[in-house]
Structure 1
Amino acid sequence: MTASKTLREVAGLGHTPTTIGNSALILIDCQNTYREGVMELDGVEPALVECQKLLQRYRDAGRPVIHIQHDAGAGSPYDVAAPIGAIADVVKPAAGEPVVVKNYPSSFEKTNLDGLLKSLGVKDVAIVGFMTHVCVNSTARAAFNHGYNATVVGNATATRSLPNPTGGVVASKDLHNASLAALHDFFAVVVPSQEDIAP
Structure 2
Amino acid sequence: MTKALLLIDIQKTFRDGSWGHRNNESAELNAAKLLNKFRQQNDLVIHINHRSENPSSRFFFENAGFEFQDLIMPLNNEIVISKYVNSAFIGTNLKALLDNHKIDTLVIVGLTAPHCVSTTARMAANYGYRTILVEDSTASFAIENYNGKTFSAQEIHDITIATLHDEFAQISSTKDFLVNYHNY
Q: Shared fold by TM > 0.5?
A: yes
Tell me whether 1:84 sits opposite 2:56 in the alignment: no
- Tell me the CA shift for residue 80 of structure 1: 2.3
Q: Where does residue 114 of structure 1 map in the other structure?
A: 95
Paired residue type of 1:177: D
Q: Where does residue 189 of structure 1 map in the other structure?
A: 170
Matches of 1:118 and 1:89, distance apart in 2: 29
- Tell me the CA shift for residue 40 of structure 1: 5.4
- Tell me the CA shift for residue 41 of structure 1: 5.6
RMSD value over aligned CA atoms? 1.5
Report the count of equivalent residues.
Answer: 178
TM-score (norm 1): 0.85
The DSSP-based 3-state class of the residue aligned with 1:157 is strand
Matches of 2:148 and 2:108, distance apart in 1: 32
Tell me whether 1:24 sits opposite 2:11 in the alignment: no
Paired residue type of 1:77: R
Query: Any gaps of 5 or more consecutive residues in structure 2?
Result: none
Q: Judging changes above 3 Å, is the alpha-carbon distance between structure 1 residues 41 and 32 closer, same or farther for their aligned structure 2 residues?
A: farther
Q: Matched residues, percent identical?
A: 33
The DSSP-based 3-state class of the residue aligned with 2:165 is helix
- Tell me the CA shift for residue 73 of structure 1: 1.8
TM-score (norm 2): 0.91
- Tell me the CA shift for residue 83 of structure 1: 1.3
Matches of 1:44 and 1:86, distance apart in 2: 21
Tell me whether 1:56 sits opposite 2:24 in the alignment: no
Q: Aligned match of 1:125 in 94, 97, 106?
A: 106
Contact 1:34 1:40 in 2 (8 A): no
Matches of 1:169 and 1:41, distance apart in 2: 11
Query: Any gaps of 5 or more consecutive residues in structure 1?
Result: 1-20
Paired residue type of 1:46: S
The DSSP-based 3-state class of the residue aligned with 2:137 is strand
5 Å matches for 1:143-182?
A: 143-182=124-163
Contact 1:35 1:45 in 2 (8 A): no
Contact 1:71 1:103 in 2 (8 A): yes
Contact 2:23 2:154 in 1 (8 A): no
